[in-house]
Structure 1
């Protein structure tokens, strides 16, 4: 493994002849353009998240019915943006909501930042009463739409010919341990202890990427790389141990919520240290080997959720960071947020959760990353 931070080097970018300090991923996030007036009255939330744009992302602003969590976006052939996520009735506490009562849902917007409208009820009410956790959506290599659930389920995939469903159960993700610890892929019920084989137990924090080489790639909670040659259900062969295991910059416990994407000719991963709401950024040229530490993707001790007029929201809990890529570049990131601590978000109160969309300058990010990698290769060649 290689470990370099964006702040440890000054590189001469010979491609444009300008000396630049390497930037971290967090430097490419942009202020949020309000989709409506910033609101303080008649909505839920502690003062730290007021006023806010209730049309940004997905939320039930009056908490009449739902709290939202997880999520990933797919742009469909109808030119609309479809968010596939999790929800639970606000009559539950956050703890009971995500662990017991979380359901898979679908929302639609005309632009990636929102507002997203919750469409219909549950996306698979015929299966375990709509149960779903860590829900994401994606477009498969064959053009069909897929939704994936894990964490509180075993790791199931539902598919549809239409982004609006109906979504029918295709099957459960299969794992080829390939000599690795089964706990890298599957966990015991409610993630309490690794199981003894790769056929039972829950997967968690599952992110599936359609690789440009036609294969499917999973990064679960452990960040072990898993590759399928045979379609979205696998079997996924475990290819590595946790990719950050030898990186001194990354904590070795309490890591979760990896996100994965391909842009600028390389694979990117973010991984969250949830105790401090700090998310790290890693890259690899082939998505399997030689993951390199690239610095901070997100941290919650700065004025991160900022609007174009300067207003800032401070969300105490920020998790489940996922990416939306359009036209080859990451353009927005999704964040699941709560206005209080998880323990303070109780049933039938004025605390809640939603999904916030933050724009991102992906074109500049990919260009600069390409220059940095080119400079590193030139330096390595010169040192030989």
Structure 2
């Protein structure tokens, strides 16, 4: 996701980037058969729904002309532009409130200040925001350091937040979604030395844990979130017919509609792709375009369209077994143009999604 790591030899986990033995990294992959898009002819991008207004659309907020007017109350943002926000995974608490876990850094540092990012939790009464920043998750542990933030509910009911890129796959847990957060340990892999960055973690229906890294490898743990995880083979990406292999990152993995799904982003092509598999390990097939900033899919119920320059770090919100919303980290200008102390920035947006229809149509 970030230039300093893009050409690294390491591979990434579904919160991260990792390095594997050369024999594994170079193992030939058998191409999976090409799959049609949904029976309706639609692809993932067609199931995004208009965003309900959480407040008036405004031009009196930061942002390039292409993203104005917009709803500053959608998702998580600093309306004063004090912080840049990134990542973004939403969990619903037992009381019905929504908690969004993300990273933030001072906007004065520009976009490339991300390496100083800290993990935060924000709360909203509505799935779509506004999310109110509650502060650092673990201020007494390396000053709250955290990037590539993702979160999930463990089988025992505890909450887990996982950090990579700036930390080595560190897992924090709490009995309460509000904390306090205790460091559980670091994710381990039963292979060569691994370096965690930019990965996604899920609990499979069979109770095992699965990680999909930036590299597209599948890792499975039989013994809990810390692992050890076992590599299931070479990267799935070369075996997916029709999938570009250009600078893929930010995979997010989930299970719905009887299938495993991955959405993975190509940072250089500025678009993402949707893959599915029956077992989550093999037979991954390309279902088509997931999102693209040049397609007018970030739209409001009144028809207003926001054209963000960068859309990255996708996350999904599942309710009743289907995706009901997608979170995206968005930036209004190219990353090098967000220099700090200007009227540009990044935030997390939340877009309604008709996952029930997607699962029905596939």
Normalising by structure 2, what TM-score? 0.89
From 73, 82, 99, the equivalent of 1:55 is 73
Work out whether 1:169 is the aligned partner of 2:183.
Answer: yes
Distance in 2 of aligned mates of 1:3 and 1:110 = 44
Contact 1:205 1:256 in 2 (8 A): yes
Contact 2:246 2:268 in 1 (8 A): no
What is aligned with 2:237?
Answer: 244
SS at match of 2:323: strand
Query: Against the structure 1 CA distance between its residues 3 and 53, is the aligned structure 2 distance closer, same or farther, given a 3 Å change threshold?
Result: farther
Higher relative contact order (CA 8 A, sep 6+): 2
Matches within 5 A, 1:41-120: 41=60, 43-63=61-81, 65-95=82-112, 97-99=113-115, 101-119=116-134
Deviation at 1:368, TM superposition (A): 0.9
Distance in 1 of aligned mates of 2:241 and 2:335 = 29
Deviation at 1:246, TM superposition (A): 2.3
What is aligned with 2:288?
Answer: 295
Matches within 5 A, 1:132-281: 132-177=146-191, 182=192, 197-198=193-194, 202-281=195-274
SS at match of 2:156: coil
Contact 2:34 2:242 in 1 (8 A): no
Deviation at 1:241, TM superposition (A): 1.6
Deviations 1:347-374 (A, max 9, x none): 22111000011111111111111xxxxx
Work out whether 1:23 is the aligned partner of 2:53.
Answer: no
Contact 2:260 2:277 in 1 (8 A): yes
SS at match of 1:305: coil
Deviations 1:69-121 (A, max 9, x none): 001111111211111110001121111x212x1100000111211111101x2
Deviations 1:146-176 (A, max 9, x none): 1110011111000001000011100000001
Show structure 2 runs of 5+ residues with no match.
1-30
Deviation at 1:299, TM superposition (A): 1.4
RMSD of aligned Cα (Å): 1.3
What is aligned with 1:352?
Answer: 345
Contact 1:6 1:24 in 2 (8 A): no
Deviation at 1:248, TM superposition (A): 4.1
Normalising by structure 1, what TM-score? 0.84
Distance in 2 of aligned mates of 1:24 and 1:173 = 34
Contact 1:255 1:274 in 2 (8 A): yes
Distance in 1 of aligned mates of 2:48 and 2:33 = 23
Deviation at 1:253, TM superposition (A): 2.9
Deviation at 1:21, TM superposition (A): 4.1
Higher gyration radius (CA):
1
